[in-house]
Amino acid sequence: MPDGRSTYDSSTREPTRMPLIKNGILVEDHFETIADDAPFPTNGSIVSLARFHKDRETLLARNALLGVRLKSGESPEALGEDVLRLSVIVLEFPKFRDGRAFSWARMLRTRLGFTGEIRAVGHFLYDQLAFMHRVGIDAFEVPENITLPEFHRALGEMTDVYQPSADGRKTIRQLRAGA
Amino acid sequence: MYRYDEFDARFVKERVAQFRYQVERRLSGELTEDEFKPLRLMNGLYLQLHAYMLRIAVPYGTLSARQLRMLAHIARKYDKGYGHFTTRQNIQFNWPKLVDVPDILDDLATVEMHALQTSGNCIRNVTADHFAGAAADEIEDPRPIAEIIRQWSSLHPEFSYLPRKFKIAVGGAAHDRAALKFHDVAVEIVKNDAGETGYRVYAGGGMGRTPYVGHVVGDFVAKTDILAFLEAVMRVYNQSGRRDNIYKARIKILVNALGPEEMRRQVEREFAEIKTGGTLEVPAEEIARITDYFAPPKFEPLSDASPEFEAARNADANFRAWSDINLSTHRAPGYSIVTISLKPIGGVPGDASHEQLDALADLMDQFGIAEIRVSHEQNLVLPHVRKKDLPAIHTRLAELGLATANAGLVTDIIACPGLDYCDLANARSIPIAQRLSERFADLKRQRDIGELKIKISGCINACGHHHAGHIGILGVDKKGVEFYQLQLGGSGAEDASIGEILGPGFGEHEIVDAVERVVDTYLEKREGSERFLDTVRRLGLEPFKERAYAGWAFHI
């Protein structure tokens, strides 16, 4: 990605929307976050956990892509087996110090077997991107100061890792053993 | 001791580069202080009252001579010529400049050292019994597993933004020298009925404003499963630990809110799942590989009695006293464990000058001593010393001002930096330690008093471990005036207990007298060979209280 902006067409997006990096490139956000009392749009919707619980039947019956947005205190386990019917799970970082979503992401990938998009939104720092990526977050609603080159720089700061996580990377122990 | 391979070396180097970039962004204003704070803390950098403070990790308290020399160099070049050893076996420098810190870290990396996770809401530097590998009462050296935990916890992606800091200690002996039950998690090496070694895991111990003794959450965790088990504990904590109140955010609050049984149940559930995944299993070969690094030196086949040692004891009363007090039983005949007191009478507990650090490194080389330890009691330890070398070593230590004979005695005081350095403190700790040390300076009297651990904290955060002191002293602020509360009956050892508050605080000029009256009460009331702690436990606080507040009945 030479300039970091080439795949991002700002003209088609609302000015208030933040850039979305998914799988390492800037992408168009096809989802709409829906307020709890708003009607659903025809394209993909992201609803709160409360709305999901309230309108579960209707939401799952619709032939549309669906996402649920979890607050940092809401465990993905609250979604039960429905989790596998979702396309996107949005994890909120209310402030960067709140690290619960790191565990939620890892739980989604390893315990619940979720393979859809896990999107981070809210307040997080450049310095957390590599950790977020490791636990299984693959989409990032980034502030303007995190450009695509910066994003990739963050992910590449540490060559190796000591512990397994949801990214399937070989650990230093495995590399030592020549695995 | 552990030596870095290319992976460890690159990891630390890249981590320094990462921090250098963070400092650049702070200096350019891209990062706010609020954002920079947790980042610098995870690299051991605090902002204190007068300056930055850099806390350097000494994993499980083990240092080589080469590393000591580097610490001396840093003290000289970037600081005011001294360093301060902490109650978590680390060393702190109190006067570095922010712009110099990445260079200091680069210097440290050349001797396989770093400041990783010495602060912040992450898994902190792992501590261990400072007599590891030398103690006669040890089941197994705790350092290999401490090193395995260190590696697993380094830049852990899931557990670097925990509700609060997380301290892990490892011990493997009958006598607990690592204050295991006062840690967020402790790993104790134990043997089961079949004679196999495994780990008993405690969770929820801690000091601070709500002290708790830890609960057993794993009775016998297999060695290969220890990381899976720890990860399970961490996950329960990261998901459910409180984040709404900094004072209720440690795992001890969670464990006690859930109850130990429910905590165990949740941990078991996570553990079962992580174990199934298998990726965190530590293969036996890996444990063996790491253990090899900690193989003890080849002990010479010596007889336990050393004529040189006995001759010096008969010839030199100072040596005799020092060898009575500062030596501990080594597992190999003809060897001894030496505690080098960093508590000279009237000195600052835990401080060492660059000259002393360099000279200790020379002494280690001269006597073929490969490693030195930092104890959580803020002393240094030479773990493997031939008894016949002790007279010469003592002579040299005395020249360096490092031969104070007081290990475990009343003047071997633990104290936090207190209001002299720390911006959290309510009161000064160091001057109180100094005055107590002067008051009890007489060695004959100290020996008569026997084992007595005084621990001083300058605020409720309890960095000076006052809850675990036989006599604990807590500095408090009352309308801008420093007061000191006394607590009696705490212990950080295998008989862990939390001290009880004696009564209202004493003024700065009263506290030393009050401690002396408490000690005098013990001397009068003790029976047989009772330690101070035993007498307090037998009699309760009343007789001590009566005497300590004699003449100020109106206070009680």
**Interface predicted TM-score (ipTM):** 0.92
Q: Which CATH class, in words, describes the domain spanning A10-176? A: alpha beta
Burial class (CB in 10 A: 0-12, 13-18, 19+), B87: buried
Q: Chain A: give the shortest CA distance to residue B350, in Å.
A: 33
Alpha-carbon distances of B233 from B184, B236, B240, rounded to whole Å: 10, 5, 11
Q: By CA distance, what is A155's nearest residue in B?
A: B18
Chain A with chain B: Cβ pairs closer than 8 A: 98
Residue A145 to residue B30, Cβ atoms within 8 A:
yes
Closest CA to B482 of B522, B528, B425, B539: B425
> Is the per-residue pLDDT at A8 higher than 70?
no
Domain B135-292 sits in CATH 3.10.105.10: no
Q: Give the whole-angstrom CA distance, residue A137 versus residue A123.
A: 15
* A112 secondary structure, DSSP code: S
Q: Give the whole-angstrom CA distance, residue A116 versus residue A104.
A: 14
> For A56-167, where are the alpha helices, taking DSSP H only?
56-61, 100-110, 129-134, 148-156
Give me the tens of pLDDT residue by residue for chain B, a chain 556 residues long: 999 999 999 999 999 999 999 999 999 999 999 899 999 999 999 988 778 999 999 999 999 999 999 999 999 999 999 999 999 999 999 999 999 999 999 999 999 999 999 999 999 999 999 999 999 999 999 999 999 999 999 999 999 999 999 999 999 999 999 999 999 999 999 999 999 999 999 999 999 989 999 999 999 999 999 999 999 999 999 999 999 999 999 999 999 999 999 999 999 999 999 999 888 999 999 999 999 999 999 999 999 999 999 999 999 999 999 999 999 999 999 999 999 999 999 999 999 999 999 999 999 999 999 999 999 999 999 999 999 999 999 999 999 999 999 999 999 999 999 999 888 999 999 999 999 999 999 999 999 999 999 999 999 999 999 999 999 999 999 999 999 999 999 999 999 999 999 999 999 999 999 999 999 999 999 999 999 999 999 999 999 999 999 876 555 4
> Is the per-residue pLDDT at A7 higher than 60?
no
Residues in B touching A162 (Cβ below 8 Å): 11, 151-152, 154-156
Pick B160's closest partner by Cβ from A75, A111, A131. Answer: A131
pLDDT of residue B354: 98
Q: Which CATH architecture has domain B6-109?
A: Alpha-Beta Complex (3.90)
Check if A128 contacts B (Cβ < 8 Å). yes
pLDDT of residue A18: 87
CATH topology for B414-555?
Sulfite Reductase Hemoprotein; domain 1 (3.30.413)
Pick B18's closest partner by Cβ from A96, A157, A162. Answer: A157
pLDDT of residue A5: 34
pLDDT of residue A16: 61
Residues in B touching A156 (Cβ below 8 Å): none
Residues in A touching B156 (Cβ below 8 Å): 162-163
Strand ranges in B287-330 using DSSP code E only, listed in sequence order: 327-329
Residue B161 to residue A176, Cβ atoms within 8 A:
no
> Is the per-residue pLDDT at A78 higher than 90?
yes
Pick A103's closest partner by Cβ from B155, B235, B277. Answer: B235
> Is the per-residue pLDDT at A10 higher than 90?
no
Spatial neighbors of B372 by CB under 8 A, at least 6 apart, are B62, B63, B64, B65, B68, B360, B364, B380, B381, B382, B383
Which of B2, B7, B287 to mutate to test binding with chain A, by most A CBs within 10 Å of its CB? B7
Residues in B touching A102 (Cβ below 8 Å): 157-161, 238
Q: Give the whole-angstrom CA distance, residue B13 versus residue B105.
A: 9
User: SS3 for B435-461, per residue?
Assistant: HHHHHCCCHHHHHHHCCCCEEEECCCC
pLDDT of residue B62: 97
Q: Give the whole-angstrom CA distance, residue B464 versus residue B284.
A: 38
Q: Chain B: give the shortest CA distance to residue A137, in Å.
A: 11
The β-bridge partners of B86 are none
pLDDT of residue A9: 41
pLDDT of residue A179: 64
Question: Distance of alpha carbon B78 from its chain centroid, rounded?
Answer: 24
Residue B238 to residue A96, Cβ atoms within 8 A:
no
Q: How many residues does chain B have?
A: 556
Domain segments of chain A as ranges: 10-176
Pick A100's closest partner by Cβ from B18, B38, B238. Answer: B238
Pick B11's closest partner by Cβ from A98, A160, A177. Answer: A160
Average pLDDT over residues A32-58: 91
Residues in A touching B31 (Cβ below 8 Å): 125
Closest CA to B42 of A125, A170, A149: A125
Which of B30, B37, B158, B293 to mutate to test binding with chain A, by most A CBs within 10 Å of its CB? B158
CATH topology for B307-399?
Sulfite Reductase Hemoprotein; domain 2 (3.90.480)
Q: Give the whole-angstrom CA distance, residue A76 versus residue A80.
A: 8
Q: Give the whole-angstrom CA distance, residue A155 versus residue A158.
A: 7
Exposure class string for B430-450: b at 16+ Cβ within 10 A, else e: bbbbbbbbebbeebeebeebb
Pick A162's closest partner by Cβ from B30, B154, B161. Answer: B154
Residues in A touching B161 (Cβ below 8 Å): 96-99, 102, 128, 131
Tell me if the pTM is above 0.90.
yes
